Structure 1
Amino acid sequence: MRMMKPWWLASALLLANVSAAQGPKALREEFRNPSLRYRMNVNRHSVPREERAQDSMIRWILDNGYRGMATNVNPDDYLRSDDELAVFNRFVHAAKKQGLDLWLYDERSYPSGMAHTYVLEGHPEWEAEGLLFRDTTVRGGTTLDLAALPGERVLVRALPVTECGLDYDRSLDLSAFVRDGRLRWLAPEGRWTVAEINRSALYEGYQAGTDRGGGYAPRYPSLLLEDVTRRFIETTHRRYASAFDEPLGELFTSTFTDEPSLMAQPYQNPGYGVYPWKENVSAEFRSRYGLSLEDGLLRLMLDEGPEGQKLRYRYFRVVTDLLTRNYFGQIRDYCHTQKLLSGGHLLLEECMMAHVPLYGDIMACYRAMDIPGIDNLTGMPAFTRRYLYSSRLASSAAELEGRSRMMVESCPISDYPFHGGKEAPTQQVKGTLNRMILGGATDFNNYLQLQHEDAAGRTAVNEYVARVVGMLSGGVRASRIAVYYPIETLWTKFRPLPSGLLSWDDIAGGAPEAQQLSRLFDRVSDCLMDNGWEFSYLDSRGVEESEVEGGWLVHGDLRWDVLILPGVETLSQQAMDRIAEFVLDGGRLVVLNALPKNSPDEFPSAGIVRRFNELAGGAGPVRPAVYYEPQFEPGRLNTLLEGILTRDIVFAPHRDILYAHKRIGGRDVYFVTNDTDRAQSVKLSFPGARKLELWNPQNGEVGPLAASSELTLGPYEGMIVRRIK
């Protein structure tokens, strides 16, 4: 049963769906001459103190074609100066009087959650912490001499290595051999694995310890703790609320939380593995499972078999639940008391290997936000492959919550070395904006300045974005393919091995089996994108919440008749039963590289294995369609999909042509883009369509389109096709 939303929340979340309800004339006029509603915002983290200068800033935003801005009180004496809050109050009201859209940025500087330094004042024990893990194999007669891990020792033990594996029952305590910051131990006869586990603050070598400008690098609190977010809200959100007579939601569209995380992904490989941790993780683990986490740490760290997998699943289930409840949930709940939406973006959203140590389950975090988002660190399309998927992941989570809005923070910091210290050329920026919109973006809060344009040029880009976003806003992605987000299986494989950033959107190192699954997820997405298949991501909860109707897996207005399981070994019995119901009713299941075998409580699970074997064996009145590929190969997957699905849009050629398909107000709407810097002619066919319209966001023109047509698209041009009949 779905809970009813308050009227103000439903109205705010559906604001972007206004175009679907407009009459044809009004819709065409909005497209020809777009209002502010769907344009981009800029980010400004200080406002002028003088009224004339404030008005000039507001005028600049409007004169350059923007919708509004994400902003915050001036950083001087951050949130403690009544004078600065009065300045901010005046600016906000002046901006709203001119019709600007405002988002409330919730920090002095990223990452969010620390309220400058206020959250940790008087509570240094709230700092973000992790468990550090290192294992070393030595032979008898060898002296092990290692610098001790940072922080406070939890355990250091030596385990005999036998033909059957590690002998946990005969492990030796080596605590007495740690002196003066070093572990020195002469190994007895045999082969030994020495396991070290420490607890430590996560600061140097992590995002918290990086200089965010002028030496600013405050220490960061643990978002696992309920008291941390309670204080963050008290010192930030409630402080803002006290500065205005109106509810914050009458002035601001949403909050903008910026890269909050559990901080447990090192930037440079430190030579040891890291899990996010705080005392309440151990307490919740014991309360939930009746087990001492500390007693299981060695197997959690070292055991690649069922027992270690089960412990890791439980560990990250606890981490996910604490984070979503204590940080994202608390903020959302307070925002709703102010008739305000909660939004923002996270850290390293592009790589599943980062999702685990930073969030546990990033889709669960996205679901706990009213407007989830991502950041995009470049205007160069060639560098945005992973952003195509991070944006789709965030928008898929929003749609599973019955929402349609997703935010992108555009920050072209990666462009500067390639373009003489400037942003990418506007033509490339347009291609990147296209890609974000294809991923589901409806809102942009930009550090992107469109440096190569004057006011008229910036206005033209904003009008282009407004036309496209306006036509695509609301409704749902009309994908027939759902790709399962295999985060629970990744938990089981995520042994704490050393890792670091390979790039701003990828991780090097970590457990090889975890990396293999993360890469598989990316490769499946690549295959679908490269071959022109529209698709959504679906999490375990989404499967459980779905219903089965005539061979379709149905979640609200979302409908899929193909479900892809990439490397999925672990899922709930409820999810497995729903998948079985879907397949037996005529749905198609594609299983890649691994078979489901574990439930949250059983590794392996007889119930999961039996249920899947029943499907694969064809039990039931209709032989189910289950396709298993023990080794994923993109060409075979595409051939399979070509054989079981009919396309509703056909391109020739399809290379370098991207598209999104949405169902809005009962109509099919397509966004077709040329993803190159050269003009292309493409033949389009819409089988079964009797009446189509072509909406050109470059100039606002609308005209008829034949069901089979040839279009010439300029460099990075996009077109909207609307199916009428």
Structure 2
Amino acid sequence: MDDLKKKYACPPDKYAMYPIIHSGVETAEARIAEWKQQGFGGIVANVGYTLDYPEDVQAWDRLEAGMRAAAREGFTLWIYDEKGYPSGTAGGAVLEAHPEYETTGILAYNYWKTLTGPARYRADTPEGKLFKALLVPLAGEDEPLDITETADAAGTLRFTIPKGGHRLLVLVERRLFDGTHAAHSYSEPRRYLNLLDPKATDAFIQMTHGKYRERIGDLFGKEMKAFFTDEPSLISWNLEHVPYALVSWRGDFPHVFRERYGYGIELALVAVFLNTGNAIVRRRCDFWEFISTELAENFFGRIQQWCRANGVAASGHLLAEEELTAHIFLYGSFYASMRRFDIPGIDQLESEPDKLMSAERLPIGRLAASFADVHGFGEAMSEASDHVSRMNNRQIPFEWIRASMNWHHAQGINIITSYYNFSHLSRQEVQMLNTYTARLGLMLRQGKRDSRVAILYPECAIWSEITPVPEARGGRQTLAAQEISRIFRDISWGLLHRQVDYDYIDETVIQQASVRDGRLTFGNRAYEAVILPGVHVMQVKTARALAAFMEAGGKVAALEKLPCHSREGTAEADGEVRSLFAARMNDPGHLLFSDLPGTLLTPAILAFLPRIMRLSPADIYSVTVGAAGTIVKTGGDVPSPGILSHMRIREDGRRVILLANMTGKAYRGTLTVEGMPDRAMSSEPAAQCTIWDPVDGSVAPCEWTGQEGIADMRGIKVSLGAYAGSLYVI
């Protein structure tokens, strides 16, 4: 520990912040001394944003000179891969050279009136390339009638309506721009690349990554660590109201989909847009799985393969990470796309503590860091800034930026790329922030995060319920989709408020995991409990794996819904999923079903879940909120919702714990940790519990509370100032 204490006193700069520099890196030689004095550990840079981007030779000369100067001084280098954002177009150059790679979508025109037959009928169709015109029976069980061939050259349909009531669904292919992120980017309006097309991705890589390799390829795998891609997406999550609901598309999808799933993609589109027809759950899941696989492989996967082949990491962040329903429209599967980052990341535009702690949005830091923890990447990144505050003419103080560093590291983010405007701070204050950040980065790379609880990312469940709509940002989704999103978000924050470490996992992790000593093990993760947040649909293989887990002593908590439908969508598969969980309903020690809407962390669930660490407030003042001084209480449990935590376990068995006070008032409490009493009773200095101050780098023995000499009644005294953080080694 002595070596670690020395490093902690003067932490490596590589764990400090990396400013994002879109212009001015060409003057790096003049600025390096300033960056060094401020304590930055690296830079994120790109070739200059000139009108000739990315072909401006002089801009490349300046970029190369600046990056090499920074490398000589030991800075870690990252490359930002686009002119503004979203990434993928090389500042528009890809589509200027290859207009055929522009993104397209299928727009669904669902005529409002019921068509009743038998009768002859005429209908015009929306602008665009007609893919399918379908008469969908209102009964919902018969397959739609394909009337596409009745269209004339102008797209006018003339057809006979069969007996009974029908809906007219017209599917047209059209380029995506109006109302999308492409038209509303903060950078500039720019036509967008079809990320589903591998040839389009290859063209982007050639025009960006390839050019950087030509200039500074000898730094790859050395000073040059990673490429940063910024908010690429399918852009089928429109940012303003559009006439028709839409999904992303590629011209050969009908053939590829049929080859993979054995039926026409138009049947899946009927299920997705209208929520009707046969095998709705299976067809909806088929479609979104198909989209997610094509995106993950043909964009994120190809970039990752190129980066790995060239000795660097693929990194960056996605769009609208905070909302589960947005994940589906933008990526099909957020999980599948994020797994193709070597250093997964987030975009955190807030630094005001109350906004960071908003329980109305997913805790995106924990979401991204889970990929690093579960899949062994080791590092997770944030594009951190005070952007929202600045856009509202608010200047945030030094203490809030430091609180943001605590927020990030508590959730598992350990690389900070920065858009902060530090002009209001002194050089010494910036240096203090960087040293503080580096100390957190050093300590929270010790060992591994000790998560005993896993939350299932409810992919099949949300696939089965979500519906594309023309309203902005996904509109008002079905009640079922809203409930899944709410339960997923609320249990995530509920555990954070009670200092319970957890990981997000998907069904693939459950299926590939093994069961050892009653734990679900995957890589270096070992879960004692798995939480199903509103999950009513899952793959049969997942249900079997969870049944085996429970049989071996593991615990599964199903919140508000019990799995009752299969992803496969057959009666036999549905029956097997239901029976596997029904068989455990009389075994409350291994399956706990809570069907109380809006009450997720009941006393029964809190007792059911493993809780290695507990934090108890010393007084009510520490946890009261609002003018009325209210508190949250579950049974006899009084949580400390303003305190975020991160617990790691080292190979020597010691635990490293970060406690971060995200509130504007002091906190006093008691920390107890599993296995701590034995260490607490030891008189050996090497076994002592210590508190590590990230502000000044000091290390001191912990102060104990409780009755001396009785181990089970001992705890560590916790005293945190407003917006302050402390590290404990136990």
TM-score normalized by the length of structure 1: 0.87
Cα deviation for residue 442 of structure 1 reads: 0.7
AA in 2 matched with 1:713: L
1:14 corresponds to which residue? none
Q: Following the alignment from structure 1 to structure 2, what is the Cα–Cα distance between the partners of residues 90 and 638?
A: 61
Q: Following the alignment from structure 1 to structure 2, what is the Cα–Cα distance between the partners of residues 364 and 140?
A: 40
Matched, 1:606 2:572: yes
Matched, 1:708 2:678: no
Matched, 1:514 2:481: yes
Cα deviation for residue 714 of structure 1 reads: 1.1
Q: Following the alignment from structure 2 to structure 1, what is the Cα–Cα distance between the partners of residues 418 and 361?
A: 15
Please tell me whether the aligned partners of residues 461 and 535 of structure 2 are also in contact (alpha carbons under 8 angstroms): yes
Where 2:78 maps in the other structure, the secondary structure is strand
Q: Aligned in 2, Cα 1:262/1:644: closer, same or farther, shift over 3 Å?
A: closer
Between the two proteins, what is the percent identity of the paired residues? 27
Please tell me whether the aligned partners of residues 661 and 668 of structure 1 are also in contact (alpha carbons under 8 angstroms): yes
AA in 2 matched with 1:135: N
Cα deviation for residue 584 of structure 1 reads: 0.3
Q: Following the alignment from structure 2 to structure 1, what is the Cα–Cα distance between the partners of residues 45 and 238?
A: 29
Matched, 1:30 2:16: no
2:649 to 655, 663, 677: 663
The range that moved more, 168-177 or 311-320, is: 168-177
Where 1:513 maps in the other structure, the secondary structure is helix
Please tell me whether the aligned partners of residues 374 and 390 of structure 1 are also in contact (alpha carbons under 8 angstroms): yes
Aligned-residue RMSD, C-alpha: 3.1
- Structure 2 unmatched ranges of 5 or more: 618-622, 624-639, 680-687, 705-713
Q: Following the alignment from structure 1 to structure 2, what is the Cα–Cα distance between the partners of residues 655 and 362?
A: 27
Q: Aligned in 2, Cα 1:430/1:29: closer, same or farther, shift over 3 Å?
A: same
Matches within 5 A, 1:222-261: 222-244=194-216, 246-261=218-233
1:392 corresponds to which residue? 366
Q: Aligned in 2, Cα 1:266/1:618: closer, same or farther, shift over 3 Å?
A: closer
AA in 2 matched with 1:259: E
Where 1:249 maps in the other structure, the secondary structure is coil
Where 1:348 maps in the other structure, the secondary structure is coil
1:67 corresponds to which residue? 41
Cα deviation for residue 241 of structure 1 reads: 0.9
1:318 to 290, 295, 309: 290
Matches within 5 A, 1:294-443: 294-304=266-276, 307-384=279-356, 385=358, 389-418=363-392, 421-443=393-415
- Structure 1 unmatched ranges of 5 or more: 1-23, 502-506
Query: Per-residue displacement from partner, 1:101-126 (whole Å, max 9, x unpaired)?
Result: 11011112211111122222342221
Please tell me whether the aligned partners of residues 281 and 319 of structure 1 are also in contact (alpha carbons under 8 angstroms): no
Q: Following the alignment from structure 1 to structure 2, what is the Cα–Cα distance between the partners of residues 190 and 231?
A: 50
Q: Following the alignment from structure 2 to structure 1, what is the Cα–Cα distance between the partners of residues 531 and 8?
A: 37
2:593 corresponds to which residue? 628
Query: Per-residue displacement from partner, 1:27-46 (whole Å, max 9, x unpaired)?
Result: 11221122202101100012
Q: Following the alignment from structure 1 to structure 2, what is the Cα–Cα distance between the partners of residues 624 and 650?
A: 25
Cα deviation for residue 349 of structure 1 reads: 1.1
Please tell me whether the aligned partners of residues 383 and 417 of structure 2 are also in contact (alpha carbons under 8 angstroms): yes
1:593 to 560, 565, 568: 560
1:540 corresponds to which residue? 507
AA in 1 matched with 2:610: L
The range that moved more, 186-195 or 354-363, is: 186-195
2:429 corresponds to which residue? 457
Cα deviation for residue 532 of structure 1 reads: 3.1
Q: Aligned in 2, Cα 1:635/1:149: closer, same or farther, shift over 3 Å?
A: same
Cα deviation for residue 325 of structure 1 reads: 1.2
1:196 corresponds to which residue? 170
Please tell me whether the aligned partners of residues 396 and 537 of structure 1 are also in contact (alpha carbons under 8 angstroms): yes
AA in 2 matched with 1:664: R
Please tell me whether the aligned partners of residues 580 and 612 of structure 1 are also in contact (alpha carbons under 8 angstroms): no
1:640 corresponds to which residue? 605
TM-score normalized by the length of structure 2: 0.87
2:112 corresponds to which residue? 137
Q: Aligned in 2, Cα 1:429/1:82: closer, same or farther, shift over 3 Å?
A: same
Q: Aligned in 2, Cα 1:488/1:173: closer, same or farther, shift over 3 Å?
A: same
Where 2:68 maps in the other structure, the secondary structure is helix
Please tell me whether the aligned partners of residues 362 and 492 of structure 2 are also in contact (alpha carbons under 8 angstroms): no
2:92 corresponds to which residue? 117
Where 1:537 maps in the other structure, the secondary structure is strand
Q: Following the alignment from structure 1 to structure 2, what is the Cα–Cα distance between the partners of residues 552 and 687?
A: 17
The range that moved more, 622-631 or 352-361, is: 622-631
Q: Aligned in 2, Cα 1:133/1:111: closer, same or farther, shift over 3 Å?
A: same
Query: Per-residue displacement from partner, 1:23-66 (whole Å, max 9, x unpaired)?
Result: x22211221122202101100012354xxx43222222222221
Q: Following the alignment from structure 2 to structure 1, what is the Cα–Cα distance between the partners of residues 141 and 553?
A: 46
Count of residues in Structure 1 that have an aligned counterpart in Structure 2: 683
Please tell me whether the aligned partners of residues 14 and 42 of structure 2 are also in contact (alpha carbons under 8 angstroms): no
Cα deviation for residue 426 of structure 1 reads: 2.3
